[in-house]
Every structure is written in C-alpha cells, then in structure tokens.
Amino acid sequence: MLKLIKFLFNRLLYVLVLMIISCGSKENSNKDHLVFKYNEHKNIGSLDPAFSKDLADIWGTHQLFNGLVQMDDQLNVKPCIAKNWKISDSATTYTFNIRNDVFFHKHELFGKDSTRMANAADFEYSFNRLKDKTVASPGSWVLNKVESFSAVNDSTFQVKLKQPFPAFLGLLTMKYCSVVPKEIVEHYGSDFRSNPIGTGPFKFKRWEENLKLVFRRNNNYFETDKSGNSLPYLEAVAITFLPDKQSEFLQFAQGNIDFVSGLDASYKDEILTSDGKLRPLYANNVNMIRGPYLNTEYLAFYMETEVSEIQALKLRKAINIGFDRAKMMTYLRNGIGIPAKGGFIPKGLPGYDDTIGFTYQPELAKQLVSEFKTETGIDNPEVTLTTTSNYLSFCEFIQRELQKTGLNVNVDVIPASSLKDAKANGQLDFFRASWIADYPDAENYLSLYYSKNFAPNGPNYTHFKSEEFDNMYEAAYLETNSEKRKNLYTKMDSLIMASAPIVPLFYDEVVRFTRKNVNGLGINATNLLEIKSVKKD
C-alpha cells in the first residue's frame, strides 16, 4: 500500500512539474535578474559567525562576513582580509598583513561616516570572543592549538601556535574566524545574531524568521573579479524557509527560486535517470553540477566490544567485501556519490588512495564467514547494525547482501539524537555514521583513529588503537613538506583499513540544480555557497 501511495505521489509530482514547465514560469520583473533566490528548508539559527555550526548558518554568514583567509573551489587557501602572511619559528608563528581597504557595513554606531576600516585589533577582539566561555561559541575548538594572538599594529596580526599544525590556515577559513566589530557586538549583545554587521559582499537588510531573509549588495566591498570589476554582481539575495523539500522542488521548477542543493528521495527519480543524468523534461531549463564532497558515509565497529562477531577481523573483512557498493549507489542514489573503494579519507583530499580499500568479493566473503564458524563453533553468526531512518534503505540493502554470505544482520532503527549519544558512550557495537570535514585536511579524518581521541572526549568512536598509527599521526604535525605529509596520511589510512574498524560506504558528492539563466555558481568539496561571483541573465 505504501509503495502504491509513493507511486501515485510521484506521478502527481511529475504531472505538476510538467504543467509548470509547459506553461512557462511567470513573467519575471525587471529586477529579477539582479536577485539570487534560494530556499533554506533547515532554517537558520543565527547570523552571528561565532555560531556558524550548521551548513544553513554557514551559507548565510558567508555572504555577510570575511576572515583573514578564504578558500577557492580547489580547496587552496588564498588571501582575503589578510593580503599576505609569513610563517616562521619552525611553522609556529603566523604573521598576517591586513588590507587597508576593507570596511564594515554601515551602521549609525560607527559615527559620522557610518562605517570604519577593519583592522588587526578587530581580529584580536573576534578571536578573544571566540574563546570567551560566556559567549559559548561552538567554534571555540578552532583555537585549541593556538598559544597566543595579538594585534602588533593596525595592519599586522600575529598568531603563535603551541606546536606546528599544517592545517591551521584551512581552519582559519571557517566562518567562526570571521572579523566582527566590537562596538556593534557589544551594543546588541546576543541580538547580534539578528543584527549582523560584517565586511562581506552582501549586507543584512531584513529577517522575518521562518519566512524570509534578505541581503543587499555591499557597494563598498573590497574584492574585484579578474577584470577589475567590483563584486558582487547581484543586487540582493532572498532566502525563503519552506520546510518541505517537495515544495522547495516545485518552487524551483516554477522558477520562483534559482537553486536547489542536494538530492532528496521525494524527487530524485523524477529529475534524474538511474545513472545520474538529467531527464529530458528538465534538460532545457535546468543545469546540474556535481563534484566531490568532503563527506565519508560509513559503518563503524566498536573495537572494545565483547561480541565475538565484531572482534573477529575475518567477519569485519567479510562485511567489507560482501556487498556491491556500485550497485548500491545506482539503486539507492541514482549514481550520485562515489562508491568507497579507498579508505576513510574521501576523494578530493590529498592522501586519498582508491587502491587501499575493499572491493566486492562475494565468494571470499562466504569463505571468511565459513572459516569464522569453524574456528569459533558459532553456527549462526549475527550482528546488530544500528542506524537512523534516513539510512534504513542502505542498511537493509547491506543486510540482504550479507545474508547470502551466511551472516545475519539485524537492523535497529533509532532517532538520530539517540544514536549520537550511544555511539559517543560506546553503547553500540555496529552503527552507521558519517564524517563531514570540519576543515579541508585529511588530518581531520584521521583524528577519528588517534588513541588519545577516544569518545566521549574525542571523535574516536570506534576506540581503534594502534601505536604505529599514533606515531605517524604525531609525525604528520611536524611535517611541513606537503608531499611527505600526504604520503603519511595515505599510510595511516591504509593501516586503518588493514584492521577494518569501519566499512566505508561512499564518498558523497555535492549536487546542485540551477536555472539555466544562473551563471558563475561554482561547486566545491566543502559545499560552501559562493554567491559573490554569480550573475543572472
């Protein structure tokens, strides 16, 4: 019955979209090409960059604020408010030279000229605020490896680290590290979340929470394109808050929003073929762009469990080779996502290697399960895999495939909040998880297997422990040569896969659908929404 209802709904959705496209979108106003419109179905909690934890908040604050450095679409760190920098003292001291043409958005508190230039003292204030326990920023951890920081003068900001940390510049690209003006923040207090003043390409205009958010062009923005033209090109950004992805998709099909991110189950089969191509109905009106996303989806084993099946390396390997990842991606994701043939480091990051992982070998999987039965006397081995409802289809696919090897898999579905707490406290033997990069460096992924990071005090949810791994992990901090550090990352990832504390499923992809008249909306592996270079015909 449920399948029939789903089928009828998808047919209705198809007919509605066909009617919308056939009739054409409503006539645009003369200024429609100057406004970029998108929907944020997860809502926005705060426009204060110190609280930019969720992607929805990051997308919003990215339009309003800048930091010392920024990242391009190839994950290269490049100048932003800092025009250049110098690294000294055995890679522990970073000295940033600040531009003299960056101004905060206008506000009456700035006095007669209604604005002022951002300087090194503003970064000192912003970093201190990030560390302030009374502010309680979720991004305070970004400065954990920082010994001290100070404004040497108006145009020089210096940061000293406790130890070398090659990924530090990448950390500084996070929105947590944006510059904010002291006088405005202290005036609004906690209400700065809805009265943001930054230096970004757009400035805050209006926010009706749960309804609409509007940004306007910052005419004093400091960045230009390669031809010297001022950025941004657009006059405004308009964000709506429809909570339903199906409604969002219909608004996109009608031309009321310019952009949809991700692939939701409610419309994936309507817009894409099984191999991930746009269906003919959409080809004339829609562009699809896709690329690697720094997100590894995986299953994890708790290595300190007393369950014999989980303790056995042979069974962990049998699970890894007992299902077809490529078939899974075609069947459940319309080909969107990269089957995980490598290790934990996702495609798109230095250190990734597609030769160190597991491939589909059903006969060998059966053999390994048979050997386990003989060696242990356990005739009916079984494991319980805990997941959330969003990933039930993946777990049921794996369950069916592994039953063919002689291993029974029980699938237990619990709420996301319960899974999060249980895995942190070592209460689950086998569970689904994902890791989205906090910053674009493989060290962030490998930190999940460092023995000093055991959960709940760190992200090592598997409690994997290897002295050899720990030694390489610590050596990578001191390695300033990027090629040598990359090789260390690959060796560490290979060591993890040899012990099989995890089952990598797939490396996610960023998928974006835009109207044909949208140009310049790029794509990047952190799924950051960059609007300053967007134009609309």
Predicted pLDDT of residue 27: 43
Domain boundaries along the sequence of the chain: 1-23+31-41+201-285+516-537, 65-188, 293-510
Q: Domain 65-188: which CATH class?
A: alpha beta
pLDDT band at 29 (very low <50, low <70, confident <90, very high): low
pLDDT at position 44 over 80? yes
| Residue 231 vs residues 100, 140, 340: alpha-carbon distances, Å | 17, 31, 39
Using the CB atoms, write b or e for 235-247: b if 16+ within 10 Å. Answer: ebbbbbbbeebee
3-state secondary structure of 260: strand
What would the pLDDT profile of 366-418 be if each residue is shown by its tens digit?
999 999 999 999 999 999 999 999 899 999 999 999 999 999 999 999 998 89
Higher pLDDT, 188 or 33: 188
Higher pLDDT, 76 or 286: 286
What would the pLDDT profile of 262-305 be if each residue is shown by its tens digit?
888 788 888 998 888 899 999 889 999 998 899 999 999 999 99
Contacts of 159 (CB under 8 A, 6+ apart): 93, 94, 96, 146, 148, 149, 168
Q: Which long-range contacts (CB under 8 A, 24 or more apart) does 145-149 make?
A: 147/92, 149/123, 149/124
What would the pLDDT profile of 354-368 be if each residue is shown by its tens digit?
999 999 999 999 999
Instruction: Give the C-alpha separation, 360 to 367, whole Å.
Output: 13
Instruction: Give the C-alpha separation, 534 to 259, whole Å.
Output: 12
Predicted pLDDT of residue 509: 92
Superfamily of domain 1-23+31-41+201-285+516-537: Periplasmic binding protein-like II (3.40.190.10)
Q: Which CATH code is given to the segment(s) 293-510? A: 3.10.105.10
pLDDT at position 111 over 60? yes
Angle between helices 325-333 and 392-403 (to 10 degrees): 140
Contacts of 378 (CB under 8 A, 6+ apart): 308, 309, 372
